[in-house]
Structure 1
Amino acid sequence: MKNVNIGGVPEHFNLAWYLTLKNGEYKDQGINLRWHDYYGGTGAMCKALREKDIDIAVILTEGIIKDIIAGNPSKIVQTFVKSPLIWGIHVAANSKYNSIASLKGTKAAISRYGSGSHLMAYINAKNNNWNLEKDLNFEVIKNLDGAVEGLKNGTADYFMWEKFTTKPLVDNGTFRSVGDCPTPWPCFVIAVREDFIENEKDTLKTILNIINNTTKDFKHIPSIDKTIANRYEQKLEDVQEWLGLTEWSQNVIDEKTVNKIQKELLSLNIIPKTVEYNKLVFKL
């Protein structure tokens, strides 16, 4: 039995992994795949890949591209979700801020530097023509619980996180939503440590085949909307809206898209340089 560690956020995007694990599909192929939840998101998974705590990560595209350029010895092997991620922009329920424009120059709560919440604050600032040096300030809050605390006690003013994940907190009056900011590219990719790719190509291909067979027909699984609503404590109509907006992928991310992302990250001074496609992506 091959032991393989994989990490991802504990969100509805990754339910397909849970279903295939529950069905014992990897064990049937001689693979003991262990799933690890990363509440700290992309920054925490980049660290886990570097430290060999995990072999594979289901991770935000822009975050892993930034970290590979910064020396993470991993490669993207496939797009996982090809539709954009819709980031909700949230303030505390009693906040004096009522629009994205009013947040200019205030403090953004981020899970950690290099995380999606950090990088998307730059995208949002650029979209609104803010000064990237003067109008962006950050407070590290580690995770969603930290954001709830930070916004409530005023150590941060706004928080960006996947819109549907935070929707229950908007519904119950913890947060107020002031707008959305979609990623201008496919949101999740599967990244793998280079040494694992080198030594375990067949194992990796088997894992990808299993997950791809499930994501291909994910939306047609009977009562999948109700399953998601129950598991992630979401309203059925929100889940149905999310399913309508979300598209999974079974293909490798293309060079044009990778170059577009790098160009955007470079223009925001998030990366120091762009690199060749094959430094970031490995085609199995």
Structure 2
Amino acid sequence: MQLKRLRIGGVPEHFNLPWKLAVANRAFDSLGVDLHYAEYPAGTGELTRALRNNELDAALVLTEGAVQDVVQHNTNRLIKVYVRSPLTWGIHVAAPGDIQHVEDIRGRRVAISRYGSGSHLIGIVDAIERGWSLDEMTFVVIDDLDGARRALAGGKADVFLWERHTTQPLVDNGEFRRVGERIVPWPAFVVSARREFISSYSSELRAALDVAATCAMNLKRRKSAAALVANTYGLQQKGAATWLSEVSWSNSYRRPTSALKKVIRALQAQQSIPQSAVDPDRVWHRL
């Protein structure tokens, strides 16, 4: 009997350790599928492009990027929340500066890696969640984290939003001051899959996702989990333990309608998708 090949992709980050463990432990062998898990270091854009190019059948993608891809290209569909806990971004300023409280960032210049990027989007989300007008916002393109460090130190930008674990060393050494945090108001990662693959192999896909969900739950219960995460991804064990206590993988196939609407509104505010109405039914397929 020839096994159906199933190609899954994700970023090389600790969120996807359950898939690496499941493959290593041959947890998919009993499903009748030949599962291949591949890592895509360039992230969301590379993953969604691989789906469109039929290089992958499904991918573990940041929710906002997956929604944007579906709306723009209509070749893939979201089928499951993968990581239901949200990402948390730190709101940073130069430590020696005059900004002491998060309320002080209103109307200040926001450093972003590029227009359309995550730092751009989350800056907009933060303003929306605080009830501030987007017309007050000014953005400064700084390319990357090093560019943000130079911009804040040189007074070319005032505020920088970035994933908090990445910037923690800069807070610890006194270069950045973290004046607040923005918990993104939607699940961190979803599973996006090619429409053609869903229509032909939905049962095999769901079975594989269930196995990965079980592996994720088992990882959370392992006493050695923090050490495993730390050793695999080069983290401090204390930081890995904190991350494990916060992350929550999902075993549900329920559509997060309210969260999807928030993603759509944020992407429209960013002008990454059309302003016309986008129904969550357009981006989600019920397995």
Residue 277 of structure 1, aligned match among 277, 280, 286? 280
- 3-state SS, counterpart of residue 217 of structure 1: helix
CA distance in 2, matches of 1:240, 1:164: 12
Which residue in 1 is equivalent to 2:257?
A: 256
Which residue in 1 is equivalent to 2:238?
A: 237
CA distance in 2, matches of 1:246, 1:216: 11
Q: Deviations over 1:19-76 (max 9, x none)?
A: 112223345644141312334x334433333343433221222332233222341111
Residue 109 of structure 2, aligned match among 106, 110, 117? 106
Q: Deviations over 1:134-162 (max 9, x none)?
A: 41415273xxxx32x21233276554333
CA distance in 2, matches of 1:42, 1:70: 14
8 A Cα contact 2:6 2:33, kept in partner: no
What are the within-5 Å matches in structure 2 for residues 172-251 of structure 1? 176-251=177-252
Q: 1:153 to 1:195 in 2, by over 3 A?
A: same
| Range that drifts further, 99-108 or 82-91 | 99-108
Residue 151 of structure 1, aligned match among 135, 139, 148? 148
Which residue in 2 is equivalent to 1:12?
A: 14
8 A Cα contact 2:78 2:191, kept in partner: yes
What are the within-5 Å matches in structure 2 for residues 105-144 of structure 1? 105-110=108-113, 113=116, 115-139=117-141, 141=143
CA distance in 1, matches of 2:114, 2:231: 26
Q: What is the CA-CA distance between 1:276 and the residue it aligns to?
A: 3.1
Which residue in 1 is equivalent to 2:34?
A: 31
Counterpart code for 1:257: S
Q: 1:160 to 1:195 in 2, by over 3 A?
A: farther
Counterpart code for 1:108: A
8 A Cα contact 2:264 2:278, kept in partner: no
RMSD: 3.1
Q: What is the CA-CA distance between 1:267 and the residue it aligns to?
A: 7.2
Q: Deviations over 1:145-198 (max 9, x none)?
A: x32x21233276554333234434544667553321001222211111212212
TM-score where L is the length of structure 2: 0.80
CA distance in 2, matches of 1:245, 1:211: 19
TM-score where L is the length of structure 1: 0.80
Identity of aligned residues (%): 32
Q: 1:194 to 1:156 in 2, by over 3 A?
A: farther
- 3-state SS, counterpart of residue 190 of structure 2: strand
Q: Deviations over 1:207-259 (max 9, x none)?
A: 21220111233310231012122333333333333222222111124253355
8 A Cα contact 1:42 1:60, kept in partner: yes
8 A Cα contact 1:266 1:273, kept in partner: no
Q: 1:263 to 1:37 in 2, by over 3 A?
A: closer
Counterpart code for 1:199: S
8 A Cα contact 1:62 1:261, kept in partner: no
CA distance in 1, matches of 2:167, 2:74: 30
Which residue in 2 is equivalent to 1:47?
A: 49
Q: 1:264 to 1:23 in 2, by over 3 A?
A: same
